[in-house]
A = this chain, B = another copy of it.
Amino acid sequence: MSKESIGVGVIGYGYWGPNLVRNFANSEASRVEAVSDLDPAKLAVSKCRHPEIVTTTNFQDLLQNSQVDAVAVATPVGTHYDLALAALRAGKHLFIEKPLAPTSEQVRRLIDEADRRNLTLMVDHTFLYTPAVRKIRELLLENALGDIYYYDSIRSSLGLFQSDVNVVWDLAVHDISIILHILNDKPVAVSATGSSHVPGSPENMAHITLFFESSCVAHVSVNWLSPKKVRQTFIGGSRKMIVYDDVEPTEKIKVYDKGITLNGSPDNVQQLRIGYRAGDMWAPHISAKEALQTEVEHFVDCLLHGKTPISSGASGLHVVEILEAASRSIAEQGRPVRLEQPLGIREHA
């Protein structure tokens, strides 16, 4: 691609759209050509902040604009499939909010469409680009924790009840994307339970266990009806353990040199001896760089150099497949649901 910077069109200027516009506009490698929203009042706000960006109530204007190389979609999930398909068919690269689409079937079709046209498709799993998660992944890649035993997370608050999506699709989606990103392991089954305490509403509380090929296990607890905001993840390894607390303003990650030491051979269980080890704790400095800035730079880089994004379509598909399996398990009070052989989503790593 020979152009100096990538032209981006943003569909949807509601809650998240303004952040996309600001970051694509501020990035050296991209510019925002146009913004569309059904609500003229929102477009007026965009005009005030970014007078140079064209606004329109018709997203088709973006698709027909030859200056637009890529489209970013920040609309309700129910509209994702149609908008994404139209964008890809218009030959635009695609950056789209999570979850990619409401069903894995739709996600597969979008991936096919992008592949056929050789277009970049990237889902906005923002947490993967936070300095905290990047630091955790770095620690795991360099094997600082040893064998990973578990990932155990709580994500709860007195949160907004959604009417069209349950707490799993709203909150657990973050943890699922993080788990797939940082653990070098294949999930093979899901057992989940959930409950709704508001008649006629989707589940507002759920607990998900994800089984892996190894003895590693992941557990995610999500709740819209908690008196306190909790964003806490424990990651246990044979050498070290991490506590990642996203509510902490600065020391988000603490690495504990704690654990057990096995003495004696596993063949002789009777003589198994467990020693306990407690060493230093270390909280690495976490950069304050905005995740979305890292993310849009990555999108542009992938697009320019034909790389597969970290949060590629295949990655977004894997997340949606697990959300679907969790939903099936919840409907049967925890009955384990096998996961299909996952797509090879980590080739980019």
List chain A positions with a Cβ less than 8 A from chain B.
Answer: 48-49, 149-150, 152, 154, 156, 158, 161, 163, 189, 191-193, 195-201, 205, 207, 209, 211, 215, 217, 219, 221, 223, 225-229, 234, 236, 238, 241-243, 249-251, 254, 256-260, 262, 266, 269, 272, 274, 276, 278-285, 329, 332-336
Contacts and interface: CB of A to CB of B under 8 A. Distances in A.
Contacts of A150: 195, 197, 205, 223, 225
B274 A161 contact: yes
Nearest to A207: B219
A282 B228 CA distance: 14
Given A158-B258, A193-B217, A198-B260, A281 B251 contact: yes
Contacts of A243: 227-228
B201 A272 contact: yes
Contact of A221 (B152, B242, B272, B336): B152
Nearest to A189: B333
Contacts of A193: 191, 209, 211, 217, 219
A282 B283 contact: yes
Nearest to A191: B334
A337 to B, nearest CB: 9
9 contacts: A191-B191, A197-B238, A198-B272, A227-B254, A228-B243, A278-B285, A280-B283, A283-B283, A334-B334
Contacts of A283: 280-283
Given A191-B334, A278-B285, A334-B334, 13 more contacts: A156-B234, A158-B259, A200-B272, A201-B269, A201-B274, A225-B241, A225-B260, A228-B234, A228-B243, A229-B249, A257-B285, A279-B285, A335-B335
A115 to B, nearest CB: 34
B276 A284 contact: no
A168 to B, nearest CB: 14
Contacts of A201: 269, 272, 274
Q: DSSP majority for the A interface?
A: strand
Contacts of A278: 158, 250, 285
Given A262-B198, A333-B191, A152 B223 contact: yes
Contacts of A241: 225-227
Nearest to A47: B48
A200 B274 CA distance: 12
A282 B282 contact: yes
A209 B209 CA distance: 11
Which of A274, A283, A334 neighbours the largest number of chain B CB atoms within 10 Å of its CB?
Answer: A334
A279 B250 CA distance: 10
A328 to B, nearest CB: 12
What 7 pairs across the A-B complex have the smallest Cβ distances? A191-B334, A200-B269, A227-B256, A227-B241, A281-B283, A193-B209, A333-B336
Contacts of A329: 334
Given A149-B197, A223-B152, A282 B281 contact: yes
Contacts of A226: 234, 236, 241
A221 to B, nearest CB: 7
